């Protein structure tokens, strides 16, 4: 059995998707799980920057066919594993979001829980992770625009048969009407993260400000996510293989590409026959591997 994949999503930018992914990863690792966080925000990758991690090759290079996924993983704080992206436009242009399926499949054979951090908006690159997830966690603030975008994301996930397990409300204060937000979303509210003006801005909060109210909220959220994971994996999974993370500041070459380009860069660690078989099928049609899959654009789903 492969690991459990959570996609951390929410239509609006700046609502705390990356912060949530980082802190629940640390909490789940503290609880004894092997966790990897993937920065699938291909346009605005900031996971590495928030954790002060510089590593090459990146997820972008894996999705461009220039590196193996096993070379893109690196150590993060609190014992978590990270697959960072990069922020330059050339890397974004070369990365193929459809290849994320094989990356996640390979990682889910080596880690108990895979957390996919996504970008804002509704596009092909944000749709693919919704279809890859065993469970989708939607992040929003109480802002009306954020709530509306989150509702659209939930609708999109439903259209591609994604399983939304619940929502997280961030930046809550004494004036926030949590019940009203939950009613607008029509989703179970798994956690409410308070806006803590006194908390440090350095991530992860669970390490740098473990006694803050926000850190405690993320611990409770991670506990709920652990329950969902165990309920859906019959108590947990054992990884089938092991990837050895590189140090956070390592790189394979001066230009950032792997020294020796692998024959099957995406599927490193995955079964070659299975990878070949996947390329011949479309499964549920949510992986974006077909060239004509998004012919009408993702926004056509709401027409």
| Cis-peptide into 110, omega within 30 deg | no
CA–CA separation, 147 and 195 (whole Å): 17
Residues 25 and 28: their CA atoms lie apart, in Å, by 5
Residue by residue, pLDDT tens for the chain (303 residues) are 689 999 999 989 899 999 999 999 999 999 999 999 999 999 889 999 999 998 999 999 999 999 999 999 999 999 999 999 998 877 788 899 999 999 999 999 999 999 999 988 888 878 999 999 999 999 999 999 999 999 999 999 999 999 999 999 999 999 999 999 999 999 999 999 999 877 777 999 999 999 999 999 999 999 999 999 999 988 777 777 778 777 655 444 334 343 433 334 444 433 433 433 343 333 443 443 433 333 333 323 323
pLDDT at position 15: 95
Residue 219 neighbours by CB under 8 Å, 6+ apart: 27, 206
Its sign, for the CA torsion 219, 224, 230, 233, is: negative
What are the pLDDT digits (tens) for 102-115? Answer: 999 999 999 999 99
Phi, psi (deg, nearest 5) at residue 46: -140, 5
pLDDT at 61: 94
Q: Report the alpha-carbon angle 70-87-116, nearest 5.
A: 50
Residue 199: predicted pLDDT: 73
Ordered strands of the 74-75 beta sheet: 74-75, 81-83, 35-39, 113-117, 4-9, 135-140, 164-172, 189-194
Per the omega criterion (within 30 degrees of 0), is the bond before 46 cis?
no
Q: What is the pTM of this model?
A: 0.80
The class (CATH top level) of 4-240+259-285 is alpha beta
Q: CA–CA separation, 75 vs 194, rounded Å?
A: 28
Tell me: the pLDDT tens digits for 243-290? Answer: 877 765 544 433 434 343 333 444 443 343 343 334 333 344 344 343
**In the prediction, which pLDDT does 244 show?**
74
Which pLDDT does position 274 carry in this prediction?
41
Instruction: Check if the beta carbon of residue 15 is closer than 8 Å to that of residue 95.
Output: no
Q: Which pLDDT value is given to residue 248? A: 57
């Amino acid at each position: 059995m492969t690991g459990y994949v959570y996609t951390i999503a929410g239509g609006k930018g700046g609502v705390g998707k990356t912060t949530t992914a980082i802190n629940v990863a640390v909490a789940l690792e503290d609880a004894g799980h092997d966790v990897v966080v993937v920065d699938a925000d291909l346009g605005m990758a900031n996971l590495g920057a928030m954790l002060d991690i510089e590593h090459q090759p990146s997820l972008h290079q894996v999705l461009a066919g220039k590196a193996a996924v096993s070379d893109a993983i690196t150590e993060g704080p609190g014992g978590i594993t990270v697959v960072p992206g990069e922020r330059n436009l050339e890397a974004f242009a070369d990365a193929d979001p459809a290849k994320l399926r094989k990356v996640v499949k390979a990682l889910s054979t080596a880690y108990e829980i895979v957390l996919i951090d996504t970008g804002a908006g509704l596009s092909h690159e944000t749709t693919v992770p919704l279809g890859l997830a065993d469970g989708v966690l939607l992040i929003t603030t109480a802002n009306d625009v954020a709530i509306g975008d989150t509702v659209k994301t939930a609708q999109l996930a439903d259209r591609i048969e994604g399983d939304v397990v619940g929502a997280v409300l961030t930046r809550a204060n004494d004036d926030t009407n949590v019940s009203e937000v939950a009613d607008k979303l029509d989703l179970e509210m798994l956690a409410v993260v308070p806006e803590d003006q006194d908390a440090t801005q350095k991530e992860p909060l669970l390490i740098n400000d473990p006694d803050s109210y926000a850190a405690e909220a993320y611990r409770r959220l991670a506990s709920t996510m652990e329950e969902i994971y165990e309920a859906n994996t019959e108590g947990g999974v054992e990884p089938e293989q092991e990837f050895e993370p590189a140090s956070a500041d390592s790189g394979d070459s001066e230009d950032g590409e792997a020294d020796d380009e692998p024959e099957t860069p995406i599927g490193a660690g995955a079964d070659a026959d299975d990878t070949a078989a996947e390329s011949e099928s479309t499964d549920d049609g949510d992986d974006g591997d077909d060239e004509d899959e998004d012919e009408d654009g993702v926004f056509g789903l709401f027409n």
